[in-house]
Structure 1
């Protein structure tokens, strides 16, 4: 009896690094999670990978590695096109570097593409087609799955939702919808409302201010409620473009900001129809990511298994 093959999934984001091991069906069986030190840049992340992956390989003997990178990549070669959040990644041959480190086949994708695949096959988009996924985290990304497969545009084309210029050439969606932009708005809001519940939470534990929104919303804080309305309006504006052009059956909201949960999802769903033409009403379903923070590694496992199998049949 042949043992079930395992695969390594690596998620490289702007704030966290995840090293996971799992099956071809996307089940995670082991995990290492690290915080990213932005000041150390890509070199610091590569050191974390080089220290953490050998242990997982020795333990699980995986067949291949799938990587989700938080930015534009050449998925055919594994080379990073551009780094927008962490210095030192632009034009880096990530696939080749990892193959040299591990001796294993390595497949690299944009992280939002992999999250889309994970949610389409195993998460909130299961059974629906097409599936559009978008993350609100360090940045804002997007991906489209059609018939259960990632849609790729002409190189280096991806669903770069966060870089839409809806308000002119000098402003992109990330400026209004990323986790960092939300943190900034929270700091500005609590400065003018220091007695609010949100201000009290931020004062007691500053930094990454958006994580306090859930508790403030549960307390009925009007400052937090107003911030959610603003965030949802900005995001629904961008998603209206997605609906007009791609007509997904479902839009899946993921990333760290989506962990605010139902208040954010409901606010986005309520505002989305105001940004799409009447004939498209009520618009696609809007759902929270079913895999939560595992959307990318699950997608990486599915992708690695699929491409590893394809490579076996073509060689």
Structure 2
């Protein structure tokens, strides 16, 4: 008996067919081409999904989508990164290709489920998961199940306002926002280890932070501390509302690793009320880039 986990993100597409979340039978991955829009993504899925499942007894498909969805119907509300998704009946469309039950949920919800059952959230309850990539998303698992508000969404951490002017956590702390922070900083300090790395290998500048931090680069450390303070301030609102036992950091920017986790852990207590000190446990994702497809498979097993 096999299940499919499909991730549709703002930068990455991947699908896994597995007998259990960790016994992977086949997988496929590609990068999103924003210029091709939603139609480009759908063409890739329509081409690759039948090949992926050929020869496997697939019982259900789970999908983690990068944006708000109506999880009861499997209809996309919108994507904040890729045009052409608004109102699209994603579950129904995939069902025409596989003829099995298809469940669709927000990708952060799905990743939270994966981490709660098979990753860093095991033995913790409630579990709050944050994805920090092309956007910033959140998912809450209580009693082993995703917490759902009224469709089409909940726990939209990235859209918390940091001020009355409409600055959001996502606009300050997403991977794209960190890229811009790095670009501006190294333009003023090109001779630093971080500046040298960006000059030699431009694009997606935040990916150079980990190496620059390992070199002891003060510029990289300053950028990380500034980012972590902004992020911890936004995260504190979720902690005050949900008071999870553990907060798990995932997504592309979490690839900076322990320096990022430790920086958030340093700044978060300053933004929490005294009764909640020292705050929840903070951990890095144990499933890494597979958090969404593993969670999607777990969701599909309940179909």
The alignment's TM-score, normalised by the length of structure 2, stands at 0.98
Are residue 233 (structure 1) and residue 229 (structure 2) matched?
yes
Render the CA deviation track for 1:92-131: whole Å, top value 9, x for unaligned.
Answer: 1111111112222211010000000000011001000000
| 1:175 equivalent in alignment to 2:189 | no
Partner residue of 1:70? Answer: 66
Deviation (angstroms), 1:24: 4.1
Alignment of 1:111-260 (within 5 A): 111-260=107-256
Q: Which residue of 2 aligns with 1:274?
A: 270
Q: 1:83 to 1:257 in 2, by over 3 A?
A: same
Task: Deviation per CA, 1:216-261: give whole Å up to 9, x if none.
Answer: 1111111111111011111100111111111100000000000100
Alignment partners' CA distance in 1, 2:98 and 2:213: 46
Equivalent in 257, 262, 274 of residue 261 of structure 1: 257
Give 1:58's match in structure 2, choosing from 51, 54, 70.
54
Q: Which structure 2 segments of 5+ residues have no match?
A: none
Match of 1:33 in 2: 29
Secondary structure of residue in 1 paired with 2:17: strand
Q: Name the SS of the counterpart of 1:230 in structure 2.
A: helix
Deviation at 1:200, TM superposition (A): 0.8
Distance in structure 2 (CA, Å) of the matches to 1:112 and 1:160: 9
Which residue of structure 2 aligns with residue 284 of structure 1?
280
Cα contact 1:26–1:302 (8 A) shared by 2: no
State the Cα deviation string for residues 256-313 of structure 1 (Å, max 9, x = none).
Answer: 0001000000000111000110111011000000101111011000000112xxxxxx
Shift of residue 60, structure 1, vs aligned partner: 1.9
Distance in 2 (alpha carbons) for counterparts of 1:108 and 1:256:
22
Length, aligned pairs only: 303
The answer to whether the 8 A contact 2:70-2:153 is kept is: no
The farther-off stretch of 218-227 and 27-36 is 27-36
Task: Select between 54-63 and 179-188 the one with higher mean Cα deviation.
Answer: 54-63
1:9 pairs with 5, 8, 12, which one? 5
Q: CA deviation at 1:27?
A: 3.9
SS at match of 2:55: helix
**Which stretch shifts more, 114-123 or 57-66?**
57-66
What is the aligned partner in structure 2 of residue 19 from structure 1?
15
Aligned alpha-carbon RMSD (Å):
1.0
Q: 2:110 is paired with a residue of what secondary structure?
A: helix
**Contact 1:113–1:144 at 8 Å: present in 2 too?**
yes
Conservation of the 8 A alpha-carbon contact between 1:68 and 1:110: yes
* Distance in 2, Cα, partners of 1:97 & 1:170: 35
The 3 A distance-change label for structure 1 pair 230 and 29 is farther
The CA deviation at 1:170 is: 2.2
* Structure 2 counterpart of 1:103: 99
